[in-house]
A = this chain, B = another copy of it.
Amino acid sequence: MQRLRRDPKELVEAARGGDRGAVARLISLVEEGGEAARDVGRATYPLSGHAYTVGVTGAPGAGKSTLTDRLISRARAEGQEVGVLAVDPSSPFSGGALLGDRARMQEHATDPGVFIRSMATRGHLGGLSLATPEAIRVLDAVGRPLVLVETVGAGQTEVEVAGAADTTMVVLNPGWGDALQASKAGLLEAADIFVINKADRAGAGETERDLEFMLHLSSPPDEWLPPIVRTVATTGEGTDDVWDAMARHRTFLDEHGLLERRRARRLAQEVREIVAHRIELRARAISAGPEFDRILQDVVDRRLDPYQAAAEILARLDQ
């Protein structure tokens, strides 16, 4: 129990020394949100900015976990330490445990070079789109040079979460219309790399052609054109190609000075979201209480119209 009471600064020090329990505790504090999460942020932020982050998204059942598992093995073969966040917006609990369908990843659980954590928001009011970058910075600050962020589904939140990485990978399967679905879900714009997993199934060629067609329609020719890689994650086929595509995209970002620019843009977006969120909370607080009730009575009695009432309330916000 004493460990739980250690402050974030101490936890960060312990985590950097290899204490996995401290890493887990730091991420739990992020999930819980509030002041403790702010303390974690203050302790980790100055130490962060070194990890390369890769987001993995796509429809449920596409094989994201299996592919992520393969990429972990590939990173370990290079001697690289890796942190993995499995983000599930549909679940309010992570319990810090591995998700049920991540049994395969458990092979890595005893490897000190690998840290895997599922991630939910237990109390973080900003939701996963604000909590995930904080959790990434924990893994970054404690010294993981590579962080993989796998999302469970491909909804709006998942795409936002996975898209807020240095390299975003979208996993599809062969099948009529899968490329079109990806386009509708906004994955075409989010993807730096497309993976057609289960490529031993019928239709892989057609899906690749559809994707290529839509990519050529949407991308200016001088920018990064997302490569399309075929894999069979269950056998490991194609993992090296995905790994190479990741490396090529990283080199591309570096050589064009895009990595720093992208990261700055993401930070700007994050700051804006925090500001908007804080203001929303404040507006909610103002729109309640006796003074609000008094102003509202004037509206009901037709002495003030709703816009005049809003102006009165906003004038109080400024005091």
- The interface of chain A, by Cβ under 8 A from chain B, is 38, 41-42, 45-46, 48-49, 133, 260, 263-264, 267-268, 270-272, 274-276, 278-280, 282-283, 286-287, 292, 295-296, 299-300, 302, 305-310, 313-314, 317-318
* Min distance, Cβ A52 to any Cβ of chain B, angstroms: 17
Interchain CA distance A27-B260 in the complex, whole Å: 49
> What are 12 sample pairs from A and B whose C-beta atoms fall under 8 A apart?
A41-B305, A41-B307, A45-B302, A264-B300, A267-B300, A270-B306, A272-B283, A275-B287, A276-B283, A278-B310, A278-B314, A279-B314
* Min distance, Cβ A204 to any Cβ of chain B, angstroms: 35
Q: Is the CB of A310 within 8 A of B280?
A: no
Interchain CA distance A307-B35 in the complex, whole Å: 11
* Chain A interface main SS type: helix
Given known A-B contacts A279-B280, A280-B279, A317-B279, A306 and B274 have beta carbons under 8 A apart: yes
Interchain CA distance A318-B49 in the complex, whole Å: 31
- Among candidates B42, B279, B314, B318, residue contacting A283 with C-beta atoms closer than 8 Å: B279
Given known A-B contacts A302-B49, A318-B318, A313 and B280 have beta carbons under 8 A apart: no
Residues in B neighbouring A300, C-beta threshold 8 A: 260, 263-264, 267
- Assembly of this chain: how many copies? 2
The listed residue with most B CB atoms (<10 A of its CB), out of A41, A296, A300, A305, is A305
Least CB separation from A126: chain B residue: B307
Residues in B neighbouring A317, C-beta threshold 8 A: 279
Q: Is the CB of A46 within 8 A of B302?
A: yes
Interchain CA distance A292-B310 in the complex, whole Å: 27
Q: Is the CB of A271 within 8 A of B287?
A: yes
Residues in B neighbouring A260, C-beta threshold 8 A: 300
Q: Is the CB of A42 within 8 A of B305?
A: yes
Interchain CA distance A42-B42 in the complex, whole Å: 49
Residues in B neighbouring A296, C-beta threshold 8 A: 264, 267-268, 271
Interchain CA distance A41-B305 in the complex, whole Å: 7
Q: Is the CB of B275 within 8 A of A286?
A: yes
Q: Is the CB of A275 within 8 A of B314?
A: yes
Q: Is the CB of A305 within 8 A of B45?
A: yes
Interchain CA distance A296-B269 in the complex, whole Å: 10
Residues in B neighbouring A299, C-beta threshold 8 A: 267-268, 271
